[in-house]
Chain A
């Protein structure tokens, strides 16, 4: 394993049990697999995503997405219902947008199932299948505010959230600007209460209210990056072009338990 930046970032040719475990056991904070998809695939998928069309998040304006994030439900019943009723259809929309290439999240789901002792599967909640494979479009000049991801906040008191030991973010980079668009992370973890207080009315904490990040990673087209989503993280503003990614969460509950994915 090639270890960079004080072992906070690992770069590898392919996902393996060893490097995934290193991430899961917090031996590293970021696992990067360059060239997870080809540049040709990036080009075609980018075109497919754009022609499918991005809409803004319900609760994070100026961030475009295809599919729906469970975060958007804000625990409102009618939005939760909408999320579940469109979940499988949205997975298929993503699949079609990636044609003729496979949806990279499909490949990843299968690889997780092959390398992880407890296997892997789509997360369910309230007896229903969740959506996975959210595609996000960040416009130039717009950062993704600093936040941490806590399944438990959005699905409180559910066995699915309570059993979670840790939560990782997954991004496949389909079209990234040459300048900007870095993933930024802060090493100290804050409680969700503190986070909610600090973010105020925003969906996250503006970057100018934080110390400089402890690490930044500049993704390249085709990269797969997995990172500890319980750490505060943000996306720095890109320059010149939209930044397109396909993303998911990975839930860990023990080595012999199924890894789960959702968006």
Chain B
């Protein structure tokens, strides 16, 4: 009895993250997002760019119901996380899955656009904005001479989490010029539905080697938040916000308590101030 109660208290404690580390969060708007903001992120001077109200509440509602209707399915390699579209991470170097990824990329993009109708996909707006503000422009990432997919939609259900992990393109596509040339990798999420309680983005400053990460994740895709020190940055996005954050740093999602947390997401690669940004999912 005591143990059960103890676990509940501990769980409640872990779910109750206070916002923190906001000196590492740069708040801006869609009209004011600039190349300087992206450079600050690349230089590790900030962790997160928060573009507030990137899309309207109405757009959030339309896209949420469109996405739910399209149907979330579990990741091939992480059953507990549900998504629409396919992440390149899921291919795990397997040829048949890589083929499936590329064969479905364009269709998935069109499906997402249709699901967002009539308000349009915020992925498209975000892609255009990056192309406008970044001096060398921004483009869809290619790999093996093929266009990658962009615009994965992910669902975090109540009482579940995204375990702490870092995203490194070169781990997913090793030995490729496209991945090895990446200097910084950002995660970009547009939140279309947020729980009232929970769902914060959690980030840690300390870089973790792949060896240490592999040891600590104990066979899971990421590390249990309980096995890490408290996060250094805790930010709860509002529905409609776009967050662009340093995905090379360990990051996780606190459990939503009351409803699904839905976001559209992609990665952005930075290869230098004079190089085009590229994006993919």
Known: A38-B118, A41-B118, A102-B119. A109 touches B128 (CB 8 A): yes
A36 CB, min distance to chain B CBs, angstroms: 12
Asked if residues A258 and B139 are in contact (CB atoms below 8 Å), the reply is yes
Q: Which residues of A contact B56 (CB under 8 A)?
A: 99-100
Interface residues in B, total, Cβ within 8 A? 30
Asked if residues A102 and B139 are in contact (CB atoms below 8 Å), the reply is no
In the complex, chain B residues 119-150 whose Cβ is within 8 Å of any chain A Cβ: 119-121, 123-125, 127-128, 131-133, 135, 137-140, 142, 145, 147
A100, B62: Cα distance in complex, Å:
11
Q: A121 on the interface (CB 8 Å rule)?
A: yes
A255 CB, min distance to chain B CBs, angstroms: 12
Q: Which residues of B contact A89 (CB under 8 A)?
A: 31
A219, B222: Cα distance in complex, Å:
54
In the complex, chain A residues 80-117 whose Cβ is within 8 Å of any chain B Cβ: 88-89, 91-92, 95, 99-103, 106-107, 109-110, 113-115, 117
A257 CB, min distance to chain B CBs, angstroms: 12
In the complex, chain B residues 16-69 whose Cβ is within 8 Å of any chain A Cβ: 30-31, 56, 58-59
- Our count of residue pairs bridging A and B at CB distance below 8 angstroms stands at 72
Asked if residues A121 and B139 are in contact (CB atoms below 8 Å), the reply is yes
Partner of A88 from B118, B132, B138 at Cβ < 8 Å:
B132
Interface residues of A (CB under 8 A from B): 38, 40-41, 88-89, 91-92, 95, 99-103, 106-107, 109-110, 113-115, 117, 119-122, 124, 127, 129, 258
**Additional A-B contacts beyond A109-B131, A110-B109, A121-B131 (7; CB < 8 A):** A95-B125, A101-B118, A106-B125, A114-B147, A119-B139, A121-B138, A122-B131
A-B pairs with beta carbons under 8 Å apart, 14 shown = A88-B133, A100-B59, A102-B124, A110-B109, A113-B140, A114-B140, A117-B145, A119-B140, A121-B137, A121-B276, A122-B137, A124-B137, A129-B132, A258-B137
